[in-house]
Structure 1
Amino acid sequence: MHRLTRAPNAALATLWADLLCEGGMPATVQRLYLSAVAGELPPHECLPEIWLDHVEHKERALALLEALRNLPQRRWHCPACGELVEGGFEQCWNCGALMPPL
């Protein structure tokens, strides 16, 4: 096993590990419940960690995490109601219509 990275919270750690597993890179989350002792231990030591089962997946896994951290944002007008939708939303907040393809 090889430690890949620390995540800022348990939700992201779990999401990242699941996406790595879906990408064919078996991963687990360690230190998931250590936040309870933050203060007695240094806070940065209590963050959840993503561990890879196989060190040969490290470069591909880091590339996937980097892509997840830098998803492109798109501004679009809803085809159904004309509302301007900004950010990473793929559905109109006003009427629920899906984002049109590029």
Structure 2
Amino acid sequence: MLRLLTAPDIVQARIWCDLLCEAGFPARLLREHFASVHGLMPPTECNPEIWLEHEEHTDAARQLLEELKHLPQRRWQCRCGETVEGGFEQCWSCGGFMQLGQAL
């Protein structure tokens, strides 16, 4: 196993780990519950870590995480009248999806 990165918090770590696994890069989340010892240990030793099971996936996994940092941000108007902003393609209000050419 190879440590890929240290995440800033458990929520981000879980998202990244799940996305890596879904993309075919088996990964594990370690130090998941170390937040409770902040103040007793150095902070750099308490943050969650993502480890890859196969070292040969390192470059592709790093590239995937870099692409995730640059997802397109949109602002569009749903048919229900809701304005949706961010990287979302589905309306939180009615569940409708963004149509082509619908960005504001």
Secondary structure at the aligned position of 1:16 is classed as: helix
- Once the two structures are TM-superposed, the CA of residue 83 in structure 1 deviates from its matched residue by 4.1
For structure 2, the 5+ residue unaligned runs are none
- Once the two structures are TM-superposed, the CA of residue 90 in structure 1 deviates from its matched residue by 2.1
Percent identity of equivalent pairs: 56
Q: Paired residue for 1:12?
A: 12
Q: Paired residue for 2:46?
A: 46
Secondary structure at the aligned position of 2:5 is classed as: strand
- Once the two structures are TM-superposed, the CA of residue 93 in structure 1 deviates from its matched residue by 4.5
- 2:5 and 2:26 map into 1 onto residues whose CA distance is 14
Describe how 1:46-65 pairs up with structure 2 within 5 A.
Answer: 46-65=46-65
- 1:20 and 1:93 map into 2 onto residues whose CA distance is 25
- Once the two structures are TM-superposed, the CA of residue 25 in structure 1 deviates from its matched residue by 1.0
Q: Paired residue for 1:99?
A: 98
Please tell me the root mean square deviation across aligned C-alpha atoms, in Å.
Answer: 1.7
- 1:2 and 1:23 map into 2 onto residues whose CA distance is 17
**How many residue pairs are counted as aligned between the two chains?**
101
Q: Paired residue for 1:72?
A: 72
Residue deviations 1:33-67 (CA, integer Å, cap 9, x gap): 11111111111221100000111110000011111
Q: 1:99 to 1:45 in 2, by over 3 A?
A: same
